[in-house]
Amino acid sequence: MKAADPATIETPVGYVELDRARANATRVAAYARSHGLRWRPHVKTHKSLEVARIQLEAGAQGLTVATLREAEVMASLCDDVMLAYPPVGWTKLERLLSLPESVDIKVALDGVEVLTSLASAAVERGRTVGVLVELDVGLGRVGVQTADDVVRLAELAAGTEGVAFRGVLFYPGHIRMPRGEQTGHMRAVATRLHAALGALTAAGLHPEIVSGGSTPTLWNSHLVEGLTEIRSGSCIYFDREALHVGVADWADVAYTVLASVVSTAVPGRAVVDAGSKALAKESRGGDGFGILLDHPEVLVRSLSEEHGVLDLGATEWRPKIGERVRIVPNHVCASVNLQDGLLARDGDVHRLITLEARGRGPWIA
């Protein structure tokens, strides 16, 4: 077990505290339950069957995925899977429709072309795929723009063989300000959603699922009336963004990148072996790419591919070559995606977590 010890394992490597992850899952599930919401966590954060199992055991009801690889892997664990991503292209449709018959597949989409190609492919396979109409509530990334557009696409889904209208989905990804300042923004989302839901009712359509939620808005999800489920995913581990927003405390952070100090040659700095290929170069307005868990006064000021440059300007701490540090990345999902696997602490034992849903393959037929 020498190599699976955080003191000697090769760095850089993603490091998970499973007890914290379990506590996070329990807390989110309890919040959802207390507000009559279901929790359908997005697995893009962890890409791991073991961690998905933790979420389901804590009370998650269903899983959210973005890629077909994630869908295929998670279908082995859970029969309620939502692809919160438009499946465009024949291989993606083929893979989607090859998921086990036992899986209740739901797909979020925002356009007629995606809906009709999905429906045709489903008819060919003798399946029916659930459709959620995605509504843009302010991010301006994907999603139909008006309540009328929601109704139009929902009516098309309801009237087209191979698909079934199941509900509405939105992602409030534009709401990233501190938790206490979110109320007005959440009310604006609620207003927009209310209009769409009202128009659907007027058209005689009844969304069984109204799916929303992000990790920054997690604890304010109940402010959006009509919601039936939240999809928050990165709440399993949290990250520096979550700390900034105030949706998590330091003691909740369950994922760090374990790194070793490899150079102290430049005064005022120390270099670790976690660079952009371990932490991900996710900028947060010029204030660095990560922060040390055990020295929160120390930022990862800049990143090269294999170098993370620690700014020692605000600390008395002077690390030695070979010293190990734990870095909280700005964006946990992007960092996990760069790992071959994770080292996990489970009580007193250290072991590995595999990332079965990482990558995209088999991408060549």
Provide the CB-side half-sphere exposure for 162 (13 A, CA): 15
- How far CA 132 is from CA of 197, 312, 357, in Å, comes to 13, 49, 23
Stretch that binds its own copies, among 124-132, 192-200, 202-210, 265-273 (CB under 8 A): 265-273
Rounded CA separation 221/185 (Å) = 11
- Interface with its own copies, residue 349, by CB under 8 A: no
Assign 282 to helix, strand or coil: coil
Give least dist CB 188 to its own copies, A: 17
Give least dist CB 294 to its own copies, A: 18
- Interface with its own copies, residue 43, by CB under 8 A: no
- Interface with its own copies, residue 297, by CB under 8 A: no
Give least dist CB 36 to its own copies, A: 29
Residues in the chain: 365
- Interface with its own copies, residue 285, by CB under 8 A: no
Restricted to residues 202-231, the positions that interact with its own copies (CB under 8 A) are none
In the set 180, 267, 316, 318, which binds its own copies (CB under 8 A)?
A: 267
Stretch that binds its own copies, among 33-41, 74-82, 138-146, 156-164 (CB under 8 A): 138-146
In the set 41, 143, 172, 319, which binds its own copies (CB under 8 A)?
A: 143
Rounded CA separation 97/129 (Å) = 9
Site string for its own copies, 51-90 (x = CB under 8 A): ---------------xxx----------------xx-xxx
* DSSP H or E stretch at residue 123: helix 112-124
Q: What is the 3-state secondary structure (H, E, C) of 62-87?
A: CEEECCHHHHHHHCCCCCEEEECCCC
* DSSP H or E stretch at residue 200: helix 183-202
> Smallest Cα–Cα separation from 130: which of 58, 28, 40, 233?
40
- Partnered with residue 65 across adjacent β-strands are 83
- Interface with its own copies, residue 239, by CB under 8 A: no
- Interface with its own copies, residue 282, by CB under 8 A: yes
In the set 48, 337, 355, 357, which binds its own copies (CB under 8 A)?
A: 337
